[in-house]
Structures are given as structure tokens and as C-alpha cells.
Chains A and B, each alone.
Chain A
Amino acid sequence: MRWLANSFRSLLTSCLLLALVGSTSCSTYQNLVVYQSDTALIALGELPAGYPSLGPNRHPYTIDPKKLLTLLEPLEYREGSFLPFAWVQPRRVFTMSQGKMLAQELPKALGMALPQEVAAFTVADEENPDRRTKGFTFIVGDELHLILEELRKPSYLGEQKTYQPQAHGWELIPGNSQRLYTSRPEGKGTVPHWVICPLKP
């Protein structure tokens, strides 16, 4: 059995070296700002590394702001309660004015985007401007993909250590005909921060 342990040790060392070399070959991408205000920023850029590639996006894409508003405004999420295994009442992801602003500006961005780009957005909370909601939208086929990376996260918090399980936990609630992205076949591997909205009935 010792040979097995020794072989495994060699394999492990090789894998670590490969991963280290692979990490140095990543490139960065310059974002193009489409809209900027005191409370919001919309820019075009590549989907950050770490998300699966779903093939070229259907960009540029023309989407009616009213249609987008009907998708964004009712979108809800739920978060953990102070008690284990309990959830508080679902809440809207975007306020009315945030939804209107995004519905107005995101179509412009999606109309300019290249197939490899996504529209990234950051909106500040109205009540507490130091909290922000951050995410990406893009079109694949006839579906709008919305990924939320941060939801009303206080900017001063700094690094949220993932190994603190009591950190702010939340998940999106897909509406009618919407669904969460799944990373594995047959609906397994749901990603709770990634919702897909069909654009055609």
C-alpha cells in the first residue's frame, strides 16, 4: 500500500504546480462604462472568471425597457432568519426607482454589447447608500440571465469570509416561467444567485 501513498504524493505535487501555472495565465479586461450616476453604474465587460461559459451571448440585443421592467421589478429574494431553518418574508430585489432606472439603461447596454460581453451593474440602496447591489445581465438564446453577486451588501464590510457561516445568506426566488441556473444535468446543482427569465412566451 505504501506505493499507493507515494504515487499519490507525486500526483498531488504535479496538480498543485499545474494549478499554480494556470493561475498566472489569466487575463484582465477593460470595462466600458455605459451609464454612471451617484447611485448607479452600468458597464460592459466580460463575465468574471469563475462563471461557466454558456457560449456566445446573443448580443447586441434589443429589449423593450417595459419588458425588462416587468422582469426586474417583481424579482424577489429570501434570506435567512435569526432562527435556523427559517426564512423571512420574501423581499423585492430592486426598489421601484432602481427597477425603472435599470430597465431604462440596461437595454442601451445590451444593445451595444458584443457577444463576449455582459452588462454589469451596481446600484446603491436608497435608504442606506453605503449598501449596494451588484450583478450582471446577458442574453443567451431568447433568455435573459441575471446574476447577483452582492445584494444590499454594506460596502464597509470588506471581505466577507465564506467560512463564517453566519454571514448574510440569501437566494433569488424565480417568478412564473423563470428558473434558477443549474450547473449539472437534470436540474441538479442549482445556483441560487442566478436566475434565467425567458423573453418569449
Chain B
Amino acid sequence: MRRSLKHRRNNASPLGSHTSRAIAILALLFWGACPNFLFAQLPNLPSQLSNQPLEDGKENSVEQLKRKVEQIQKQYQKELSELQERLGSVEKRQSTLSDELGQSVKLGGYGLVAFEDFRDRKTTYAGKMELLISGQFHDRIRFYSEIDLGVPHGTSEVEQGYVDLLLTQAFNFRAGVLLTPFGKFNLDHFDPRQDLTDRPVVARRITPTTWSDLGVGAFGLVPLGDSLKATYDIQVINGLTDKFTALSQGGALGSSTGGVVAQDIGLRDARTGLRTDNNGNKAVVGRGTLKFLDQYEVGVSGYRGAYKETSNDQIVGTSLDAEFRPRGVPFWEDFVFKAEYARFDIENSSAPSSLWGYYAQINYRFWPAFLNSTVMGRHFSNPALTLVGRYGYARINTAAVSDGKLTENTTVIGLNYRPVQNYVIKVEYQFNSGQLERKSLDGFLASVSWLF
């Protein structure tokens, strides 16, 4: 524009000075007559001429800035994705490391101190300390050990010490000192997990809990549907021996209530104590379960094995157990029902010839809201009280007594308090009648047990 104006000026036709003056005067007059027009136009003309390049420059700057922002954004996104990748790989490494650390080895244990006061007997404390070591030294090889530290007997012993080769869900291999899969109570015998201090009479006099032995076995889980699954655990072990206690201490019993029944009458002394097999014939023991909705469990166990050193006479055992833990059902979800039956028949033995017994138990878990503000509830997120009732019966058929049998009936009513799941204070009262262990002495028991 400027160039064209200049061009116009330079190339203006040569007018005479008069003419120029006249034009100049006319122009001045016109300017004076129409100042608004001129003010309106004249300032605008040079403004338009000078702003256009400025806007162009601004547009260029904005474009440049946009490009720069885009570049920065792209770079930022690239760096962010790199960081995310790195974070992901770090998380994976952390995850793997945590798995390895978490699975390598775990230490734990449980303990019990119990007080008992039975009529006509001295009060006493009893106790138990067990060490638990478990872990994995490969993703598919795990070990588990439960070591009784020898309280109160003074001799520590391995109750469990096995290693698992995890092959498939349905078939896995186990070897070592194995907890014998006969009845549920023997498998689930940890004191802090139980709601009463005393074990059921069937688990003491008939099934010799805690019962473990050297051997090998297989176990697995077979899903039978969305809600139903079956499990099995079968073992070949050294088996029970003929060292079971048949008679009373200090001579034969004259009557069903006379004499002193040996403390470990029954099969408790027939356990091998992890010694070598007395007869070379291995025993087979196993338990199968059906679990419905993970709430209703029914188990069947069997045992068969020679027990004498020189003959093939067998001990044959069977057991049935059930445990119902209704969940999500109003009212019933606070209850747990348990029951177990066990029987052993001993070939060519008269003292004892057979043993059997059972127990049934009901637990009611509750927590009154008014206890939340007390010391029992204030500091704990999940405290609970459990009211427990159990009835148990055991019978040992033996020719060592005139009646031909020794029996025991036990009814227990108890209450326990768990501020946390793995610490429990229990109190209970027993009504007993019979000739075994507690005889007809009623009594009070209390205990504190813990698991970590």
C-alpha cells in the first residue's frame, strides 16, 4: 500500500502551482467543513495499515505457542507413558518379591494355659505351647511344621512336619509327619480355634487326638458344581500298634466303677510316637468330604491297618463328621453345629475289643451392643462372645471289667470371649458320669489360648 501511494505520488501528473494551491485551499476548506468525517476516516486509514502486520505477528506467535504446547504435551505424554511402564515393571517386581518373601517362611505358634477344678480332685493348671513354621521354597512345594514344645511333659515332639508337592487341584502329594485324616477334630485340633477348653471325650478316648504318623499321602479338591465340592486326603502310614492300654492301673477292675482306670486307656498309647513300624504292614487312612456352599461339610473317614508285631490282625476304624455354619441367614448365621462319630474294632483283642463314641456341639456367637462402650469392646473391631453347649459319649468294650464296657457321658456348657479372633478366654462347666477319665466328677474349667 505504502509503495503504491509513493508510486502514485511520484507519478502524479505535473500540475501548475496555481492549480496545486487551489486544490490545497479547497482541501483545507473541505477539512474545516467536515472535520468529523476527516477524523473518522483519516485516523483509521493509517491504523488499518499499521495493525494488520501486528495481527499477523500475533497469529504467528499464537501458532508458534500452540505448536510448542503441543510439543510439550507430546513430550509429557511420552515421559508419562515411560514412567507408567517403569512403574508397572516396578510393581511387578515388587509383587514378585513380595510373593517370594511372603511365601518363603512364616513363623507362628499357639499356646494354652488352662485351669481345672473337679470335685474331689486337686485343682491344677495345664498348658501347651506349639511352634508353627510354614512356607514355600518353590511355587509348588510348601512345607508345614507344628512342633509341640513339650509343655507340660518336658519332651518336645513333632505333631506335623510335612512337605507338599502341589501338582494339580485334584491331586497333590504329601510326605513327612502327617496329621492323620481321621475325623475332623483331629485335623482341626488347635486349642485357640476351639470354643471349649476340654476336647470331646470321643476325640480323647476313641480317636487318639492329636494323632500323627510318618507316611506319604495324596490330597485334592474335585469341584462337583458351583456350590458343591469334594475333597479327599488319603495316607499310607506306619499305623497303630498293639501298645494300647487295656487294663486299669494297679490290676484288673473288679467292677465297672472300681479300681483306677489308666489315664491313657484306649488307643492313645497305640500311636507309634513316630517310631518305626512294628510289623512292616502299612496302614491306610483317609477322609473324604462333601462341602456345600462352603457352609455345610460332611466327612467320612476310614482306617485299616495291622497292629500286632507277629500277626495280621487288623484295627478297623470309621468316622463320620459334620459341620454346619449357616451364613447370610438371619438368626441362624450366628450358630455353628458340629458333630462327630468314631468307632474302632480291634481283631482278636478282648481288652479292648472295640471303642466308639460321638459328640454334638452347638455354638451361638453374639455381641451385645451395650458392651461396645466397655473395656471388652471399646478397643476391638470384632469382639465376640460365644455360648457353647456340647454333649459327648464314649464307650470302650473290654473284657477287663465285669460289665464288659467302660463309658463316659459328658455335658458341657461354656462361654468364651474373643476380643480378636486369635485370642480367647473360655470358661465352662462339665457334668460327667461314667468310668473313664473324669468319671462322675463334675467340674469347672477355664483357659486362655492364643494363636499367632
The interface of chain A, by Cβ under 8 A from chain B, is 1-2, 4-5, 8-9, 11-13, 15-16, 19-20, 22-23, 26, 28, 31, 47-53, 79-85, 88-89, 91-92, 95-96, 126-128, 152, 154-159, 161, 163-166, 168, 182, 184-190
Contact = CB atoms under 8 A, between A and B. Distances in A.
A164 B233 CA distance: 15
Which 7 A-B pairs have CB atoms at the shortest separation, nearest pair first? A50-B327, A158-B221, A5-B411, A166-B134, A163-B188, A84-B452, A159-B221
Given A8-B413, A49-B293, A91-B94, A84 B367 contact: no
A81 B97 CA distance: 12
A96 B87 CA distance: 10
Given A16-B360, A185-B369, A188-B381, A82 B327 contact: no
Interface stretch (B34-42, B45-53, B105-113): B105-113
A166 B170 contact: no
A84 B108 contact: yes
B226 A28 contact: yes
B369 A186 contact: yes
Nearest to A180: B381
B107 A84 contact: yes
5 contacts: A11-B389, A12-B361, A19-B337, A26-B292, A82-B106
B227 A26 contact: yes
B190 A163 contact: yes
Contacts of A155: 169
Contacts of A52: 328, 333
B132 A9 contact: no
Contacts of A186: 369, 372
B108 A166 contact: yes
A189 B168 CA distance: 36
B382 A190 contact: yes
Contacts of A1: 431, 442
A12 to B, nearest CB: 5
A188 B411 contact: no
B402 interface: no
Given A91-B95, A188-B372, A189-B367, 13 more contacts: A4-B431, A19-B324, A23-B296, A50-B295, A50-B327, A50-B328, A52-B328, A84-B107, A92-B91, A152-B99, A156-B140, A163-B193, A165-B190
B337 A166 contact: no
A17 B329 CA distance: 17
Contacts of B98: 79, 88-89, 91
B144 interface: yes
A176 B164 CA distance: 41
Contact of B295 (A13, A49, A184): A49
B377 A188 contact: yes
Interface centre among A4, A126, A154 (most CB of B within 10 A): A154
A19 B337 CA distance: 8
B372 A53 contact: no
B443 interface: no
Contact of B88 (A16, A96, A128, A182): A96
A189 B139 contact: no
Given A1-B442, A49-B327, A82-B105, A188 B382 contact: yes
A190 B221 contact: no
